[in-house]
Structure 1
Amino acid sequence: MNKYTVPVIIAILISVLTATAQVGNRFFPEKDLITTGIYYYPEHWNESQWERDIKKIAGMGYEFVHLAEFAWFKMEPQEGKFEFDWLDKVVGLCAKYNLKVLMCTPSAATPVWMRTNYPETFVMDGHYIRSEHGTRGLGSIVNPVYRRFVEKIVTEMARHYGHNENVIGWQLDNEPDAKPDYSPSSQEAFRQWLKKKYQTIEALNAAWGTAFWSQWYSDFDQIIIPNTSLVGWWGNNPHALLDFKRYSADAQAEFLDFEAAILRSHILKEQFVTTNYTAVSTGADPRRTNKLDFATYTAYPNGGSDNIGEQGFRLGNGKVILFAAEYYKTTGGVSGVMEIQPGPVNWGSYNPLLLPGTVRMWLYHTFAAGGKLASSYRFRQINYSAEQYHAGVIQPDGITPSEGGEEYMQFTKEIKELRKKYKPGVTMPAKLAARSTAILWNLENYWTLDRQKQTWQWDTWNYPVKFLEIAKSFGAPADVIPETADLSKYRVVIIPAYEMADSALVKKWSEYAANGGHLIITCRTATKDRMGHFWEAEWAAPISGLIGAHVKATDMLSNNGKGDILMRSAHYRWNNWADLLAPDKSTEALAVFDNQFYKGKTAVVKHKVGKGTVTYIGVDTDDAKLEQDVLRDIYTGAGATTENYPPGIYVYWRDGFYVAVNYSSDNYTMNMPGTASIIIGEKILQPGGVLVWNE
């Protein structure tokens, strides 16, 4: 980057970012922008209503129907007896009404005959109690008997529908979660995983630090899964627990790849294979899979949380789609929302009516963030069983659209109008490319941080989301990337609390900065090696040279503590986490602590590295004002302009369109150039509102 002028750099970034957006799009034509679908469960309803329902789905503007994910009992009512006639009728009705089909493997909901005849196929909890039949997601994914039955049903489905040209793709399982499993099958699988990783018991003992509290092992066969239920949360081995998390995530990924491989041996190459991770996926790791074409997510932004302002409890949490939409793109290059609520749910701490327009806003948010598909759960609100109060796009009478259904119809109609205005080959505006941002994050660092927060005030999941929100407040295009990604694509790279690192990774960061990049590193980065051990050196030793400072101590305040930081005559409050820094002579101190017994110690530093800069933010604040002001200076120094969008206002650019959504409880007037042409909405963006324009 350093050998080019800023305009040339921006031109390169525009081409790179535009090219990146095309990766993985072979299943979704660019001109379609986004494809809409709906979950339908024909097994829940009388066959006489199927055609009425499918016709209604088509009339509402949907383009595909999501089928069969929990219908194992219907497709294999008895072991080895497969029945697809009923599903053939529904697939035929979809074709009749010009609806595509997204077929699902049913492995998340096993039939009763499996639990009755093969109880070993179910997971065990931390008290070694076997799960019972009656809900979903209880199959032991490492149990060979369960795997044999999964292989059979997926094979039969693939043979039956794999060459049906009306089937556009397959969803594997449902919301894979890498569930902890303490069953005998999982115990043995865990030991085999450890043998493969460590080779020798001596290596495992060293990695797990088993000299502590006489935990030493002399053979792999002595090892059982670390169990906080029986050992106690505080006293368990953090390194063993980290490996259990890794094993569970690997097992989940391998299981999905197992299903995908079965499908791929039978289905058309035009049919995609994906799955629907939860938006907040703390166990399953999509980056561990090898055979998915891309990953999607489920999003339930509103489940009884207060959010922003008086109407926030009716508008939902914007962070849900904000983070998931970027994170899941790292598997396959594209993503979308497979499951989004169309109204109140049944599981929230309370379940309010949504502010009119909210569902449409969520749909536009997924579109704005690059989503290639948007599917809603579910078509009909069910009249019985566990999800009676979970809204559908059709009310319990089976005929009348709900408020969410009406908004979905409005969205599909408006997308069809946007398709008419789509122009291929449009490149990202230079002012946006100049702000291109990446946030480096992985689940393993979340696991180790969440295990040892040190202060209950540390918001483990939302800490990286805070920096994504800051980038979006500047109007920056921002990606959530793995450490293997090419950093040179981005003007700014943020590394929030990346606790586990190694010398190779730090070298990569150093090279990025030396070549002209702007690197922001925060507290709790590189404090441990990959196994979660502290360095036998000073705190965060691998990065002290990179940040041009030394972390001398760390402080945390009580909930009522009022830490003060001074930066350019402005004062900022903190009480979560603070690193006391000793900067080198060549390093600029940007902010200092202004109270406590260490008043005057440095809190934020900036270090020149080659052609670029490295800024270390050694404090975590609740309101993020300090972090936002530090980052704004970095963007400005990088030659980028910044916007100043308030919390809850998210603005994106994709395919030539600017899209803004409003999760706040106040009206917001969008500052638009005179060349702007409004396509949808109004300049004054109301709560739950949407604005689409081009320039």
Structure 2
Amino acid sequence: MKRQVIITLLCVVVFKVVAQGQNFFPKEDLMSIGVYYYPEHWSPNQWERDIKNIAGHGFEFIHMAEFAWAQLEPSEGKYDFTWLDKVIKLAEANGLKVILGTPTPCPPVWLGIKHPDIYVKDVLYQRKEHGTRANMSLSNPKVLDYTQKIVEAMAKHYARNKTIMGWQIDNEPEAKEDYSEASQAAFRQWLMAKYATVDALNKAWGTAFWSQLYSSFDEVNIHNATNVGWWGANPIALLDFKRYTADTQAAFLDFQAEELRKYIDKSQFITTNYVAKGNGADPRRSTQMDFASFTAYPNYGSANLGDLGFRLGDYSVLMYANDYYKSVDGVTGVMEIQPGQVNWANHNSLLQPGTVRMWLWHCFAGGSSFACSYRYRQVLYGAEQYHHGIVSTDGVSLSQGGQEYVQVMKEIKLLKEAYSSKAKMPKAIQKRKAAIMWSFDNLWNLERQKQTYQWDSWMHMQRYQSILHALGAPVDFISEEDDFNDYPFIIVPAYEMVDEDLVQKWKSYVAQGGNLIISTRTGAKDKNAHLWESNLSGIMNELIGGKVTSFDMLPAGKSGEVVMDSQTYQWSSWGDRISASTNSEILASYSDQFYKGDACVISKSIGKGKVWYIGIESLYGQLEKDVLKRAFDDNKVSVENYPEGVFVMYRDGFMVAVNYSSEAYELDYDGNYLLGEKTLKPAAVSVWKSK
């Protein structure tokens, strides 16, 4: 029980205790490329051939062992590292480095037989079973006990092995909702640490509503939206459950990292591979990673463009991951990215030739220090039989994606020859530098009470991210704790929960010359997700130069109109009605509906800077783009106008362009191209040295 209490308390205290973003990847190496290899899936007499071929193709490291707990500990307390030692020695002999994974995603069958309660309980209170992955209850003291033992054994065994470059903890950490007995107890501990008294809990949760009042923490069970119905669920209790779940996942990662650091060499990094667009796991809640890396499968999603889009992938996957994960600790890499078709997407079409290469160059442009393909060999059995590899089913022949990996590795070598440590970002691009303020807490809360099924918090944020890239702006993601003054422009999309400290920090940022662009729904609630006892914009009124008097939304398929600078825009999903203050400027107003003439976009100067409030979500994003262009224009900052799906980005002295759209694009550069050409065809890549 002691370990459970410790890890529960760790969940509530979020602060960085190790030096993050260390230079494990020298700048001059640009982007190292590796591949997943699973020796336990193949005959030992093929290991040497495979490792030689991996090195011969140009890969620099292999990734192993994150799913091999049963092979590493075939029975309780009996460890077998001999097979893994052999492969690591083969890697060393062939000049390859190794990333080792801790094998906690897949507990061995003997552990579940001895302790059936180690498994997660789902929303129907049914216990998960052996045979899949990510099925353990991370609050369970027995899980923590056995995790500590296997991590300690691996760390001690490989602590001084110079071939090991780093560790990946677990795999694709998921903040999985857990209704087990252990999780219920841990949740109560989390609540006690957060609220201290049950009276404070009652006030925060609003338990006066529908007789939900508690007289002791012992009476609290995890609120189950499925059992009470979506409409009847307490949104604030559910938000705290989301927070607890994310904190528990983060604490589980940190728990393993702390164990590793007792033994491993300082040259070995520690990270984990978050799912690119998030599954509830929040890397900013973790305190012990050296940096956050990510898994990206661009073949799925909704941003596939044009007739070829289904073969080119969803640009928003890598767009988000590149910007977000490098913002956490300053260093990132794509730990897992597909080399071809997969077996689990809604459709698994063949990729357009060049697409895998384009994805890798997009990762490079976005700042990845490394890229690792999942996987080298296409497995012949199990749940991922049709997940393609670098080589085809014969284990030798390069697949189409494998050929493109080899091509990229050769191209990276060419760029290394042109690299200069003295290169600096062009001033025109530097002036466009922008940040997006983003919080998973706000995402969870907004999605609980969307008010309209047309609302999508994630896509709303990515609309602004996509606009910034279309304008040629470098993009970071920031939290409330970061230094706002590092960015000339800050975008705050639908940041629903605020407090006085944050609003004051925004005011100070603007007064010193910052440009703050705030979108609809921002500031509608306090940090406990309560509405203000004043009006819909509460403590935001002075900042934005007006107050939100009401909001409207239209049925799907029906649109309204607003006018800005004599141009008409359509909207449907959300529109704020704003009463503007005398010291603010009305930029856009409604031109129909019964509130025709009411403001929906306003701006206000504060000190040396300016605030824009965009109280509308337009149908196609053009209004939002025009407001952002106005913000740049007001500051005499030139911008680009790239079409959707075309990315032109600066990295280490190079300009890199990739094209996810189904149409060719003519680049505005007439000099010599290191790679590609002026006409950027679909799935094509062009690279040139920046001026």
Class of the TM-score when normalised by the shorter of the 2 chains: over 0.9
Q: Cα distance, 1:582 vs. partner?
A: 1.0
Q: Match for 1:33: what amino acid?
A: L
Q: Match for 1:681: what amino acid?
A: G
Q: Cα distance, 1:333 vs. partner?
A: 1.1
Alignment of 1:142-541 (within 5 A): 142-303=139-300, 307-541=304-538
Residue among 668, 685, 690 paired with 2:685: 690
1:589 lines up with 2:591 in the alignment: no
Residue among 108, 118, 123 paired with 2:120: 123
Q: Deviations over 1:568-611 (max 9, x none)?
A: 11110100100011111121111110111111111100101111
Separation (CA, whole Å) in 2 of partners of 1:505 and 1:303: 36
Q: Match for 2:680: what amino acid?
A: L
Q: Cα distance, 1:280 vs. partner?
A: 1.6
Q: Cα distance, 1:400 vs. partner?
A: 0.8
Q: Match for 1:510: what amino acid?
A: K
Q: Match for 1:200: what amino acid?
A: T
Separation (CA, whole Å) in 1 of partners of 2:303 and 2:457: 19
Separation (CA, whole Å) in 2 of partners of 1:151 and 1:627: 50
Q: Cα distance, 1:25 vs. partner?
A: 4.5
Q: Give the corresponding residue for 2:639.
A: 642
Instruction: For residue 589 of structure 2, give the secondary structure of its aligned residue in structure 1.
Output: strand
Contact 2:22 2:290 in 1 (8 A): no
Instruction: For residue 334 of structure 1, give the secondary structure of its aligned residue in structure 2.
Output: coil
Residue among 611, 615, 618 paired with 2:612: 615
Q: Give the corresponding residue for 2:105.
A: 108
1:49 lines up with 2:46 in the alignment: yes
Contact 1:491 1:638 in 2 (8 A): no
Instruction: For residue 457 of structure 2, give the secondary structure of its aligned residue in structure 1.
Output: coil
Separation (CA, whole Å) in 1 of partners of 2:658 and 2:551: 39
Q: Cα distance, 1:491 vs. partner?
A: 1.1
Separation (CA, whole Å) in 1 of partners of 2:559 and 2:499: 35
Q: Cα distance, 1:426 vs. partner?
A: 1.5
Separation (CA, whole Å) in 2 of partners of 1:677 and 1:156: 54
Instruction: For residue 680 of structure 1, give the secondary structure of its aligned residue in structure 2.
Output: coil
- Could you tell me which runs of 5 or more consecutive residues in structure 2 were left unpaired when the two chains were aligned: 1-18
Deviates more, 1:230-239 or 1:105-114: 230-239
Q: Cα distance, 1:106 vs. partner?
A: 0.2
- Could you tell me which runs of 5 or more consecutive residues in structure 1 were left unpaired when the two chains were aligned: 1-21
Q: Percent identity?
A: 51
Separation (CA, whole Å) in 2 of partners of 1:155 and 1:31: 34
Q: Deviations over 1:46-66 (max 9, x none)?
A: 001001111111111110100
1:578 lines up with 2:605 in the alignment: no
Separation (CA, whole Å) in 1 of partners of 2:147 and 2:547: 54
Instruction: For residue 23 of structure 2, give the secondary structure of its aligned residue in structure 1.
Output: helix
Contact 1:458 1:576 in 2 (8 A): yes
Separation (CA, whole Å) in 2 of partners of 1:378 and 1:142: 31
Q: Cα distance, 1:297 vs. partner?
A: 0.6
Q: Deviations over 1:192-244 (max 9, x none)?
A: 00011111111101100111111111111111111112111221100000000
User: CA, structure 1 residues 306+201, in 2 after alignment: closer, same or farther (shift >3 Å)?
Assistant: closer
Q: Deviations over 1:314-349 (max 9, x none)?
A: 000000010111111233211111000111111111
1:677 lines up with 2:672 in the alignment: yes
Contact 1:296 1:328 in 2 (8 A): yes
Instruction: For residue 272 of structure 2, give the secondary structure of its aligned residue in structure 1.
Output: strand
Separation (CA, whole Å) in 2 of partners of 1:88 and 1:174: 21
Contact 2:363 2:371 in 1 (8 A): yes
Instruction: For residue 262 of structure 1, give the secondary structure of its aligned residue in structure 2.
Output: helix
Contact 2:457 2:494 in 1 (8 A): no
Q: How many residues align?
A: 672
Q: Give the corresponding residue for 2:12.
A: none
Separation (CA, whole Å) in 1 of partners of 2:218 and 2:538: 36
Separation (CA, whole Å) in 2 of partners of 1:543 and 1:96: 62
Q: Deviations over 1:8-30 (max 9, x none)?
A: xxxxxxxxxxxxxx982410001
Instruction: For residue 261 of structure 1, give the secondary structure of its aligned residue in structure 2.
Output: helix
Separation (CA, whole Å) in 2 of partners of 1:572 and 1:341: 39
Instruction: Compute the TM-score of the two structures, normalised by the length of structure 1.
Output: 0.96
Contact 1:306 1:313 in 2 (8 A): no
Q: Give the corresponding residue for 2:64.
A: 67
Instruction: For residue 550 of structure 2, give the secondary structure of its aligned residue in structure 1.
Output: strand
Contact 1:304 1:352 in 2 (8 A): no
Q: Deviations over 1:236-259 (max 9, x none)?
A: 100000000000011111110000
Contact 2:362 2:658 in 1 (8 A): yes
Separation (CA, whole Å) in 1 of partners of 2:410 and 2:618: 43
CA RMSD across the alignment: 1.1
Q: Deviations over 1:437-474 (max 9, x none)?
A: 01100100100011111111112212111111101101
Separation (CA, whole Å) in 2 of partners of 1:407 and 1:388: 21
Q: Give the corresponding residue for 2:21.
A: 24
Q: Deviations over 1:523-555 (max 9, x none)?
A: 100100111000111111111101111111100
User: CA, structure 1 residues 646+304, in 2 after alignment: closer, same or farther (shift >3 Å)?
Assistant: closer
Q: Deviations over 1:400-429 (max 9, x none)?
A: 111110000001110011111110031111
Deviates more, 1:229-238 or 1:641-650: 229-238
Separation (CA, whole Å) in 2 of partners of 1:243 and 1:541: 23
Residue among 75, 93, 96 paired with 1:96: 93
Separation (CA, whole Å) in 1 of partners of 2:290 and 2:420: 26
Q: Match for 2:106: what amino acid?
A: A
Q: Give the corresponding residue for 2:132.
A: 135
Separation (CA, whole Å) in 1 of partners of 2:489 and 2:466: 14
Instruction: For residue 480 of structure 1, give the secondary structure of its aligned residue in structure 2.
Output: strand
Instruction: For residue 462 of structure 1, give the secondary structure of its aligned residue in structure 2.
Output: helix
Contact 1:304 1:348 in 2 (8 A): no
Q: Match for 2:72: what amino acid?
A: M
Q: Give the corresponding residue for 2:596.
A: 599
Q: Cα distance, 1:306 vs. partner?
A: 7.0
Alignment of 1:551-570 (within 5 A): 551-570=548-567
Separation (CA, whole Å) in 2 of partners of 1:523 and 1:90: 54
Contact 1:304 1:350 in 2 (8 A): no
Q: Give the corresponding residue for 2:9.
A: none
Instruction: Compute the TM-score of the two structures, normalised by the length of structure 2.
Output: 0.96
Separation (CA, whole Å) in 2 of partners of 1:618 and 1:526: 12
Deviates more, 1:624-633 or 1:480-489: 480-489
Q: Match for 1:689: what amino acid?
A: A
Separation (CA, whole Å) in 2 of partners of 1:590 and 1:275: 45
Separation (CA, whole Å) in 2 of partners of 1:167 and 1:622: 50
Contact 2:277 2:321 in 1 (8 A): yes
Q: Match for 2:682: what amino acid?
A: P
